[in-house]
């Protein structure tokens, strides 16, 4: 029998896709990686950018993807470059295109190309949500195993939660994208989970969303992401001010409006709430709380360590997530966590040890835990040490070992 060959497809690339590719390579099954843009920081383009356009080099470093030894990496950059150009110039608004519709276009275009050109001789394909429907349809006809990676809760549960939120806060409904997704996109999601031979998810909350949708538990495996503990490190805090930090898209899906309400009620002395990330609320909504927080728009990923290290506690009260990578980044920096089960928190921290798990939409719970953190600096510091220790245990190698064992089992 010839050695099994699996191709991995991810349109934009991120830490968990890169580590999934390495996991397949480590068991000698990786045939090819297919993505949109893969940046080589040591290549000719990088040298030109570093000399003449360093901002471009910093931007593209988020898209570094160097294939494992002796493996192919195929890029289809045209649509992704056009997507970035439209968003940067604002021309997408003139064309009636939002950021999500453009991302869907990139995912769909690569999915169709893989289905047409890249399935010959494969044993399996490993693909991600919104980028697998066409590939899986053709693969199933050819007897190719379909591995599906779902990094966030299944859309039915996501829509339910966000529809409830839109009813609670009608003025925030426009920022809740899941309830506005077109029917054809939802049909693709249903097709993907139906065709998948096995589904890999990062947390219990994602697994539960699939079970609630009628997917067999035998078809689902939970494998939490690894932490970037080698990249993010604890650093001395430069001041004594109590600081609660949020990093991510500043919007309703992340529960930031509940955090703002809680912080406003606390009115702590010599304390700061710092929000870092893209504002999805709009200036008008955030403006009513402007005296209660400090806001910094999106920053280069490489600079986040300094923001985490400036914090006393990291607060992430998300309503809909899979397993938020920012939780693992903060833990790697030795920062204790206040988060929700819906953010995947229950799979990586023990309540009261590395931080706290609170219910979604619970302003009083956020307020209570923040007040405790403020009043117990020594205990909070011990929580931070425990968070770093847990981050060191949750390695990407552990993620890869679990994933490769699963793939071997399914293939055999």
Q: Tell me: the pLDDT tens digits for 36-63? A: 988 888 877 678 777 777 766 766 777 8
Same domain, 23 and 152: yes
Q: How far apart are CA 226 and CA 22, in angstroms?
A: 13
276-300 mean pLDDT: 89
Same domain, 275 and 340: yes
Same domain, 211 and 298: no
Residue 232 within any structural domain of the chain: no
User: Using 50, 70 and 90 to split pLDDT, how confident is the model at 107?
Assistant: very high
Taken in order 358, 150, 64, 85, the sign of the CA dihedral is negative
Residue 367 within any structural domain of the chain: yes
Same domain, 64 and 181: yes
User: Using 50, 70 and 90 to split pLDDT, how confident is the model at 153?
Assistant: very high
Look at residues 204, 226, 227 and name the one whose alpha carbon lies nearest to residue 340.
204
Residue 184 within any structural domain of the chain: yes
Residue 1 within any structural domain of the chain: no
Q: Which residues contact 90 (CB under 8 A, 6 or more apart)?
A: none
Q: Which residues contact 165 (CB under 8 A, 6 or more apart)?
A: 172, 176, 252, 253, 319
Same domain, 185 and 118: yes
Same domain, 204 and 253: no
Q: What is the tally of structural domains in the chain?
A: 2
CATH code for the domain of 366? 3.40.50.2000
Same domain, 199 and 290: no
What range does the domain containing 210 cover? 6-226+396-411
Residue 148 within any structural domain of the chain: yes
Which pLDDT value is given to residue 393? 97
Q: Tell me: the pLDDT tens digits for 8-39? A: 999 988 899 999 999 999 999 999 999 998 88
Residue 235 within any structural domain of the chain: no
Q: How many residues does the chain have?
A: 412
Q: How far is CA 147 from CA 77, 123, 224, 285, in A?
A: 24, 11, 16, 41
Same domain, 108 and 155: yes
214-236 mean pLDDT: 96
Q: How far apart are CA 64 and CA 38, in angstroms?
A: 6
Residue 217 within any structural domain of the chain: yes
325-337 mean pLDDT: 97
Residue 210 within any structural domain of the chain: yes
260-279 mean pLDDT: 95
Q: Which of 61-75, 136-150, 177-191 has the highest mean pLDDT?
A: 136-150
353-382 mean pLDDT: 97
């Amino acid at each position: 029998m010839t050695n099994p060959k699996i191709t991995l497809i991810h349109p934009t690339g991120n830490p968990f896709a890169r580590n999934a590719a390495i996991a397949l390579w480590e068991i000698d099954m990786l045939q090819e990686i297919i993505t949109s843009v893969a940046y080589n920081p040591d290549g000719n383009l990088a040298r030109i950018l570093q000399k003449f356009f360093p901002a471009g080099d910093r931007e593209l470093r988020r898209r570094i993807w160097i294939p494992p030894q002796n493996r192919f990496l195929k890029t289809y950059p045209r649509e992704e470059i056009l997507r970035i150009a439209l968003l940067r110039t604002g021309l997408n608004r003139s064309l009636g295109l939002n950021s999500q519709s453009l991302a869907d276009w990139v995912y769909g275009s690569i999915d169709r190309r893989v289905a047409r050109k890249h399935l010959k001789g494969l044993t399996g394909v490993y693909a991600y949500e919104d980028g697998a429907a066409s590939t899986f349809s053709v693969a199933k006809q050819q007897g190719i195993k379909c591995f599906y990676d779902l990094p966030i809760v299944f859309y039915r549960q996501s829509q339910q939660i966000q529809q409830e939120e839109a009813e609670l806060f009608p003025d925030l409904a426009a920022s809740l994208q899941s309830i506005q997704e077109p029917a054809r996109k939802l049909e693709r999601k249903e097709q993907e989970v139906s065709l998948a031979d096995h589904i890999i998810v990062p947390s219990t909350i994602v697994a539960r969303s699939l079970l609630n949708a009628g997917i067999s538990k035998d078809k689902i495996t939970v494998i939490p992401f690894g932490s970037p503990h080698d990249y993010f490190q604890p650093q001395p805090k430069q001041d004594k001010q109590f600081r609660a930090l949020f990093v991510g898209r500043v919007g309703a899906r992340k529960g930031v409006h509940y955090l703002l309400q809680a912080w406003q009620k606390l009115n702590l002395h010599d304390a700061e709430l710092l929000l870092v990330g893209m504002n999805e609320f709009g200036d008008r909504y955030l403006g009513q709380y402007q005296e209660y927080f400090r806001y910094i728009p999106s920053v280069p990923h490489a600079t986040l360590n300094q923001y985490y290290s400036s914090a006393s506690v990291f607060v992430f009260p998300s309503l809909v997530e899979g397993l938020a990578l920012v939780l693992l980044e903060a833990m790697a920096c030795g920062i204790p966590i206040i988060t929700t089960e819906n953010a995947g928190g229950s799979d990586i921290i023990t309540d009261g040890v590395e931080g706290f798990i609170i219910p979604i939409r619970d302003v009083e719970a956020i307020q209570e835990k923040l007040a405790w953190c403020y009043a117990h600096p020594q205990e909070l510091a011990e929580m931070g040490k425990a968070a770093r220790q847990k981050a060191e245990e949750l390695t990407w190698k552990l993620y890869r070992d679990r994933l490769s064992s699963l793939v071997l089992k399914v293939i055999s």
